[in-house]
Structure 1
Amino acid sequence: MAKKAQGAGGTPATLALTRAGIHYLPRTYEHDPRATSYGLEAAGALGEDPARVFKTLLTSLDGELVVAVVPVAGQLDLKALARALGGSKAVMADVATAERATGYVAGGISPIGQRRAHRTVLDTSALDHATVLVSGGRRGFDIELAPQDLVAVTGAVTATIGR
């Protein structure tokens, strides 16, 4: 895969990957503002299996913001996320909190290059694929990379957190 930055200067995600020396493939598509599911929109527009396209969700685990990365075709199991990190209760963070904490807008939140580092859990199903796609930091822009590289750049742990 090519190692490229998207546009002049790139996004924080592409800049973080470039700094880390991680190879990735930028994947762009025309975002439809009427789309109700950003992840499924990306999978369809890019002609990819939704099992390979992952969404980034911000949660609050016992008051700590935590990132969960799961396939767009499924849902996050909040109890499994809490168990994976040894917590007691996880809830979804509200959109404004997620945007503020990551520096990205909803529908374009990347697990990579966030404003502040957060503990991250990647669903183990990602390891079934040679490459996966995650948001590149804005709507209409995904990054394709090896799941092991995603784990390395985010410091993620892997666990079964999707259903």
Structure 2
Amino acid sequence: MSMATRATRALDAAGIAYRLHPYDYHADAQASAGGKGLQAAAALGVPPSRVLKTLMAWVDSRAVCVVLPSDRQLQPKALAAAAGGKAARMMEVPEAERRTGYKVGGISPFGQQRPAPVWFEQDATAEASVYINAGQRGLLLELAPADAVRVLRAQVAPISRA
């Protein structure tokens, strides 16, 4: 497994400190309810609230990237309201992979081919550090949430529920 990805190169270029954490990725982990993020949290021995999942969505006709804890569910109405739209819905897998340049299970908010505005779950900013996909399946990076928000120029809002 290569430890250099577009995501790590983007963080390196921005001067952001992070640590890499490889883990055994299982493609059969249930994607709904944060299954892959929960599997990663268990593999690393950290609380699921610190392992953040990256989702691609639409707010009206605008693509957005959403980052939230793996044990939380996106609230489309809250996302739409925060983004100043009327409705939000999840992006289909093929479109998410084309836009980001990453495979589902390895989508990172960093270094996307076609960057979209990022919305970051407010509760995740309270953690000392969080784990976010590093751009390939089975590889997470750990960094301060404030650094993630800053480099992503993310908007922070309460967009999920437990």
Please state which band the TM-score falls in when normalised by the shorter chain.
over 0.9
1:19 to 2:17 alignment: no
Question: Runs in 1 of length 4+ with deviation above 6 angstroms?
Answer: none
1:117 to 2:115 alignment: yes
1:147 to 2:145 alignment: yes
Q: CA deviation at 1:27?
A: 0.7
Structure 1 gaps, min length 5? 1-5
1:32 to 2:30 alignment: no
More helix by share: 2
Q: CA deviation at 1:34?
A: 2.3
Number of aligned residue pairs: give it. 157
Query: Which aligned pairs between 1:66-145 and structure 2 lie closer than 5 A?
Result: 66-145=64-143
Q: Which amino acid aligns with 1:14?
A: T
SS in 1 for 2:148: helix
Q: Which amino acid aligns with 2:16?
A: I
Q: Please identify, of 27-36 and 77-86, the stretch whose mean Cα deviation from structure 2 is larger.
A: 27-36
Q: CA deviation at 1:127?
A: 1.4
Deviations 1:87-125 (A, max 9, x none): 111000000000000000001100111001201000011
CA distance in 1, matches of 2:23, 2:95: 27
CA distance in 1, matches of 2:99, 2:26: 25
Q: Which amino acid aligns with 2:28?
A: R
Q: CA deviation at 1:41?
A: 1.0
CA distance in 2, matches of 1:38, 1:81: 22
1:63 to 61, 64, 80: 61
CA distance in 1, matches of 2:27, 2:107: 16
Q: Which amino acid aligns with 1:11?
A: T
CA distance in 2, matches of 1:32, 1:13: 21
CA distance in 2, matches of 1:65, 1:132: 24
Normalising by structure 1, we get a TM-score of 0.93
Q: CA deviation at 1:56?
A: 0.4
Normalising by structure 2, we get a TM-score of 0.94
Structure 2 gaps, min length 5? none
Q: Which amino acid aligns with 1:35?
A: A
Q: Give the structure 2 partner of residue 50 of structure 1.
A: 48
Deviations 1:49-98 (A, max 9, x none): 00111100000111111011111001000110111111111000000000
CA distance in 2, matches of 1:147, 1:33: 27
CA distance in 2, matches of 1:40, 1:86: 30
RMSD: 1.1
